[in-house]
Structure 1
Amino acid sequence: MTMGSSPSTLKTAAGGVEGGKSFPIPEGMSLSYWLQGVRASPLLDHRTTEELPEFAEVVIIGAGMTGTLTAYELLARPNPPKSIVILEARELCSGATGRNAGRCKPDQYRGFAKYSKLFGEEQAKKLLEHEFETWSRVVEYIEKESVDCDLWVGDTFDVAMSPEIASKAAAVYDAYKAYGGKVDHVKYVSDPAEAEKLSRLKGAQALWAWKASTFYPWKLVVHLMQKCLAKGLNLQTWTPVTSVTASPETLGFWDINTARGSISTPTVVYATNAYTSAILPAFAKYIQPTAHMCNKVVPPRAFAGSKALQNSYGVLAPGGLYSINPRSNADGIVLFGGSNPNQSQLKEYLDADPNRLFDDSLSNFKPVTDAVEDLTSTAFEGWKDGLPAPGVGTEYAWSGIIGLSADSLPFIGKVPELPGQWICAGFHGHGMAHIFTCAPGLVTLMQGGTWADTGLPECLELLPERLARVGDGPDFAKPVV
């Protein structure tokens, strides 16, 4: 297997600790499909000023979708801060946002059972409604602003690939519907023959379809970032934060420490997702970094041109889930993510050395790629005809670091016992269906609003009681994708 930079090449220059242990930043990083396509962008390594400012009203750590949208919301509302600095450890948007499979798919039934067990049926229903609202806001913003980011809007499929999976999924769907969940926009196909025809997946047993989107996430972040820069934002890439400490000079201020100097601020926002515990060690037991793999696949002739896939997918297979983004309105490259059946082998490899959990220089982990090849060759009729051929098939895979949440949901709000510190992180592999409402909600809180003012489900709020429920033995379940 090809793993890019080995764990031995990691360095601890970025500082920080995770649960009292060294938390290194990889020297190298794999380039996702998205990052490969923007190598000439001057924003990749942009620094607004040569030196770090000594003070800022707000310092946001992380320049992905969360950090950038938080800055955008602060600057777009009345009485914006006079100075905002965003610090990014490496290239602009080179974390989870720049490494996912490019889908914004609101869960519209599947998580109801899991969330009901964790938070109760009312909160579970609110979460699914919140995801649809998030997707709607993303699409509305991209269309209104004419953002050039390959937006696709169409039917996404959940496809059950065994009778047992179909039965379990149908039971959850029925339970959500019976509770009053809105499903009139969801098409449920229980006939296997019809499910096969619609999905083009041989062996499909049932199918659920509703509206969702895919897009080029890096380009959306850059659009937002350019708006922020025009309003005076100071962006500093390649500036990893080593620690956040109480200012010895000004009561109530925080020093954001980096190898390039320190910035003093009364307000800190952790938009650090999986890397949160590098600078906020107490969160090591609430947010766990875990490397994940995505595959870039060039479709063969039978799935190109007029025969190209026209829907995004969640393929519910025995042992795992494949997410599929066919980029049907762009270059037709098919991106595979999700927790496919062999992601468990990747997890075993990661667990053998804790440093690997946050090493996104990993690439082309063979068992994960094998599972992608198995699905395409056995379930997509005609896919393997004419293969292998140069330039066709599973071309490349990259790693991204998911911030697994101890209770499956992101943490939004004040950091307990640290006045002036705020967090929006731990998206559990499902950030695109949360961030476009969660980041604005965080800004509402920062500006003095109540949780009710955010319009977000109550279970997302970061409260001491929520952390207490997680306790000392968190269960980092597999990501929601």
Structure 2
Amino acid sequence: MTMGSSQSTAPSTAGAVEGGKAFPIPKGMSLSYWLQGVRSSPLIDHRTTEDLPKTADVVIIGSGMSGTLTAYELLTRPNPPKSIVIFEAREMCSGATGRNAGHCKPDQYRGFAKYEKIVGAEQAKKLLEHELETWSRLVEFVRAENVDCDLWVGDTLDVAMSQELAIKAIEVFDAYKAYGGKVDHITYISDPAEAEKVSRLKGAQALWSWKASTLYPWKLVAHIMQICLNKGLNLQTWAPVTSVTASTKAAGHWDVNTARGAVSARTVVYATNAYTSGVLPDFAKYIQPTAHMCNKVVPPRAFAGGKALQNSYGVLAARGGLYSINPRCSADGVVLFGGSNPNQGQLKAYLDADPARLFDDSLGNFQPVTDAVDELTASAFAGWGDDAPAPGVGPEYSWSGIIGLSADSLPFIGKVPDRPGQWISAGFHGHGMAHIFTCAPGLVTLMQGGTWAETGLPECLELTAERLMKIRDTPNFDKPVV
């Protein structure tokens, strides 16, 4: 790859703002499985220029999937901006995109009842169709660009581990189907014995399967980022934005302020997800940060080689728990556990005891969450514990990532009210991989003067003053959709 000049720096100690109060950028951060695997990449600490430019046509805050894909859409469409700067507070793509469990799984029925209560049945149906379109676009892009990101395409399984959960799930499935939802691509197995056989999970009561993907998300972002750099993008890592203020020198411009100086731009994009309130304090009411854990587990012989897992999973478990499982079928076979497992509530209680923890992704190996992963593998995967304990087998470590919970469970896409020239793509509620590959292009369509209808996105995702007013006084930061 051709690279611009790059400089490595120590982390800034600059603070940002949450709800009008300063909070520190965490000095340390856990390294996810994805971040561990790219320590030699010069993109991690890339700075295109030693000094910040004074001005830019567009400034994007955040270098994850949202920010990078937004830049790509701007630079590859007709009449691209002459200059774009991306600011990243720490390493490139070290936020949610670089910390998830690597699952791009479009929800194809399960969220229908929840979304119906929030936005009505028609919008709920559109949301599920939108997620399938998002997955399709991601797969098409990776294949067309021949991106080296461990893409796997295969059957993902939703597995109900009790009769009660199976009944609830089929009720939602049937309701979606009755409303006209497309389900002919979903295989439903109601026989417990057959569900156990297909899923390899003891105690499985029913399952639903359809196509989904796993991948190395950091490498996909790096590929897109390199295209942008080749087209003139200026990437500045370790440059946390402290505020965005109206320019006193140029009418209609905004000063994007950092400890290293300010860049003035007419257009600013917040691709900041959980950290949005740090630079847009009013959004503390609408996007709430919270840490989630992912676990890396090296499978034993019974689940290696010719016996390796061949599906990704959403395991519906007790107490509303959901294990998102990525066995990296087409790569190294390491099994990654994410989602909201039954002990995630204990992590939430720990975080709520100190608000500063909500932004801190240095947390690792939170034992109750790891215990739940151990319990699932020991009780449900037949033969998992047959081997004697040995170094290099079993749970290795876990890491934290910060999810941006939305006050109505849906991301915010569009203009920032009362701030002309400011745009946002954030609040993905733990489900960004199933949204971003359509939301970022949609946002750019709006930025270029298009209508919402031209974005092709569900109407309920549009950020409007009316939507904010509706949820302002009664936010519902429900558990994430995974």
Q: How far apart in 2 are the matches of 1:15 and 1:364?
A: 26
Determine the structure 1 residue equivalent to 2:374.
373
Q: How far apart in 1 are the matches of 2:292 and 2:388?
A: 27
Counterpart code for 1:97:
T
More deviation, 110-119/463-472: 463-472
Determine the structure 1 residue equivalent to 2:119.
119
Matched, 1:292 2:292: yes
Determine the structure 1 residue equivalent to 2:336.
335
Determine the structure 2 residue equivalent to 1:7.
none
Q: Confirm or deny: 8 A CA contact 1:12 1:22 kept in the other structure.
A: no
Where in structure 1 are there 5+ consecutive unaligned residues?
A: 1-10
Structure 1 vs Structure 2: percent identity of aligned residues?
A: 80
Q: How far apart in 2 are the matches of 1:130 and 1:290?
A: 25
- Please list, as runs of the form range in 1=range in 2, the aligned pairs for 1:379-390 lying within 5 A after superposition: 379-390=380-391
Q: How far apart in 2 are the matches of 1:146 and 1:418?
A: 39
Q: How far apart in 2 are the matches of 1:377 and 1:22?
A: 44
Q: Confirm or deny: 8 A CA contact 2:377 2:384 kept in the other structure.
A: yes
Deviations 1:292-344 (A, max 9, x none): 00000000000000000000000000120000000011000000000000000
- Alpha-carbon shift at residue 379 of structure 1 (Å): 0.3
Determine the structure 1 residue equivalent to 2:101.
101
Determine the structure 1 residue equivalent to 2:471.
470
SS class of match (1:134): helix
Q: Confirm or deny: 8 A CA contact 1:12 1:23 kept in the other structure.
A: no
SS class of match (1:337): strand
Determine the structure 2 residue equivalent to 1:322.
323
Determine the structure 1 residue equivalent to 2:3.
none
- Alpha-carbon shift at residue 12 of structure 1 (Å): 9.4
Determine the structure 2 residue equivalent to 1:251.
251
TM-score normalized with structure 1 length: 0.97
Deviations 1:32-76 (A, max 9, x none): 000000000011000000000000000000000000000000000
Q: How far apart in 1 are the matches of 2:140 and 2:234?
A: 27
Q: Confirm or deny: 8 A CA contact 1:87 1:239 kept in the other structure.
A: yes
Q: How far apart in 1 are the matches of 2:91 and 2:410?
A: 26
Where in structure 2 are there 5+ consecutive unaligned residues?
A: 1-10
- Please list, as runs of the form range in 1=range in 2, the aligned pairs for 1:138-217 lying within 5 A after superposition: 138-217=138-217
SS class of match (1:277): helix
TM-score normalized with structure 2 length: 0.97
- Alpha-carbon shift at residue 475 of structure 1 (Å): 1.5
Q: 1:133 to 1:64 in 2, by over 3 A?
A: same
- Alpha-carbon shift at residue 395 of structure 1 (Å): 0.5
Q: How far apart in 1 are the matches of 2:417 and 2:307?
A: 54
- Alpha-carbon shift at residue 388 of structure 1 (Å): 2.1
Cα RMSD after superposing both structures: 0.9
- Please list, as runs of the form range in 1=range in 2, the aligned pairs for 1:61-80 lying within 5 A after superposition: 61-80=61-80
Q: How far apart in 2 are the matches of 1:216 and 1:19?
A: 33
Determine the structure 2 residue equivalent to 1:402.
403
Counterpart code for 2:151:
L
Counterpart code for 1:48:
T
Q: How far apart in 1 are the matches of 2:290 and 2:389?
A: 32
Aligned length: 471
- Alpha-carbon shift at residue 469 of structure 1 (Å): 1.1
Q: How far apart in 2 are the matches of 1:29 and 1:404?
A: 20
Counterpart code for 1:463:
T
Determine the structure 2 residue equivalent to 1:4.
none
Determine the structure 1 residue equivalent to 2:457.
456
Determine the structure 1 residue equivalent to 2:132.
132
Deviations 1:364-405 (A, max 9, x none): 000000000000000000001124211100101000000000
Determine the structure 1 residue equivalent to 2:6.
none
Deviations 1:448-467 (A, max 9, x none): 00000000000000001111
- Alpha-carbon shift at residue 16 of structure 1 (Å): 2.5
Q: How far apart in 2 are the matches of 1:184 and 1:59?
A: 43
Counterpart code for 2:352:
D
Q: How far apart in 2 are the matches of 1:38 and 1:449?
A: 38
Counterpart code for 1:166:
A
Counterpart code for 1:438:
C
Matched, 1:305 2:305: yes
Counterpart code for 1:256:
V
Matched, 1:23 2:23: yes
- Please list, as runs of the form range in 1=range in 2, the aligned pairs for 1:213-232 lying within 5 A after superposition: 213-232=213-232
Q: How far apart in 2 are the matches of 1:401 and 1:273?
A: 9
